[in-house]
Structure formats: structure tokens, C-alpha cells
Structure 1
Amino acid sequence: MPPPNVPGSLHMGHAMFVTLEDFMVRYGRSTLWLPGTDHAGIATQLVAERMLTSEGIKRVELGRDEFAKQVWKWKEKYGGTITNQIKRLGASCDWTRECFTLDEQLSRAVIEAFVRLHEKGLIYQGSYMVN
């Protein structure tokens, strides 16, 4: 499942694609449809900052580690909105295997992939724009 962002809620485009993906999984080849959500770093930081601001707290006053804890706290409280909406749409995912893009195992896999690509010379720093 292309993971939707944690800080939002589904819109009609999401509903359409969840429906199409569900149809393909149910009536196509036997496959695992793994559900998950994306951390959407900047968007999640923004909504967590807004929450703190409403409580009279500024992000810079907290420091990096404490702010990160507050973001995780926000995710734990509000991050299930999209998951619950997808469940209500009837998506036939294997919900016992739900993932989040900042889960420890996924983060390690991303780092490993980048290291391997760098070792092969496929990731490098250059002086030109990249889309």
C-alpha cells in the first residue's frame, strides 16, 4: 500500500485508490497487501508544533530530543485516523502486519539500502539539480 501521511485524513482520491487496490488484491493474483502510514516529516512536525503552540510551548524551547518525543506522542494519539478510515472503507489488508515508515526495522532497511547504493557508486554528491 502506498502509505498515506500520518497527519492528514483521507480524501476522495485516497478512497478511489484504496478501492482499486483492494479490487486488485481480492480478484487478482494472490498477494500480500501490507498496510502502513508514512511519517510525512515536515507535515507531522507542523501539526505537532501547532499542538505545542496551542499549549503555549515553542519547539525551540524544548530542544531536539524532547521535541522528537512530543512528535511521537502526537503520532500515537492522532496517527490512527487514516488507518481507521481505510479500515472503514473495507480494505482487505493484513492489519496484523501494519507498518510505519519510522519503525526501527524499516529505518534500518532504508539505511542499508542507501549504504549499498553508495558503495556501488549509485549515490553521490554532485553540483547539479535533481528532481
Structure 2
Amino acid sequence: MLVRWRQMSGYNTLWVPRVDHAGIATQVVVEKKIMKEGNKTRHDLGREQFVAEVYKWKEQSGGTICNQFCHTGMSLDWSRECFTMDAKLSKAVTEAFIRLHRDGLIYRLNMPLWF
């Protein structure tokens, strides 16, 4: 809504479509899928193979999310579409977290399992 409003107000805008298929909800969906299909967990598959399964799921379901964006009239630059697990974005996220941690803006807390 804000991007559209700024466009209508005469500003040059850029809205890059990013789809986060690497979120917790996706992890749960993919884990249920591999359990149902092969009675395996993500730990059984290992990181590389599990990530490959996430990419497969993205190819099957990712279009649905993007189509929803298109149908709502959002004005995104589809030529720049990206996926959060792409190497370039993954590196940027890692770097951002490292900087935030180094600057004391975020921290890691080891909490007991019962909390």
C-alpha cells in the first residue's frame, strides 16, 4: 500500500519481490511431506538434501504466492524476484546478523527447554 501510494504521489519507487520459503511454516510443511513420503526426518536427510527438498517445494508452491501478489495489483519489479535461500541473499542475511551481534544490538540466549 505504501509503495503504491508513493508511486501515485509521483515518487520513483522500487518494490523487489522476495518470497520467504525458508520460514518456520515452510520447514514444518516440508518436514511433514518427507515424513509422509519416506518416513524420514530432516535430520535423516541432512542439511543439503533437506534444502533441496525445500527448493522442490518452492518450485511447486512458490508460484501461488507470486500469483496472489499479481492479482492484488501490487506493482513489483518481477525481473528482480528473489528467494531468501538464494546464495546472495543468504550471505547478506548472515552478514547482517554478524554485524548486529558484533555491535551488541542482538544476542543469543541459551534458554532451558522447559521455558
> Which bin holds the TM-score, normalised by the shorter protein?
0.7 to 0.9
What amino acid is aligned across from residue 73 of structure 1 in structure 2?
Answer: K
Shift of 1:31: 1.1
Name the CA distance, whole Å, in 1 between partners of 2:36 and 2:108: 40
Tell me if 1:100 matches 2:83: yes
Match of 1:71 among 30, 51, 54: 54
What amino acid is aligned across from residue 34 of structure 1 in structure 2?
Answer: V
Instruction: Mark the runs of 5 or more structure 2 residues left unpaired by the alignment.
Output: none
What amino acid is aligned across from residue 69 of structure 1 in structure 2?
Answer: A
- Compared with structure 1, are the counterparts of its residues 108 and 88 closer, same or farther at alpha carbon in structure 2 (3 Å cutoff)? same
So what's the TM-score if we normalise by structure 1?
0.66
Shift of 1:96: 0.3
Q: What residue is the counterpart of 1:57 in the other structure?
A: 39
CA RMSD of aligned residues (A): 2.5
What amino acid is aligned across from residue 90 of structure 1 in structure 2?
Answer: G
Name the CA distance, whole Å, in 1 between partners of 2:3 and 2:108: 40
Report the secondary structure of 2:12's partner residue.
coil
Instruction: Mark the runs of 5 or more structure 1 residues left unpaired by the alignment.
Output: 1-19
Q: Determine if contact 1:35/1:94 at 8 Å carries over to the other structure.
A: yes
What amino acid is aligned across from residue 111 of structure 1 in structure 2?
Answer: T
**How many residues matched?**
109
What amino acid is aligned across from residue 24 of structure 1 in structure 2?
Answer: W
Shift of 1:24: 1.3
Q: What residue is the counterpart of 1:111 in the other structure?
A: 94
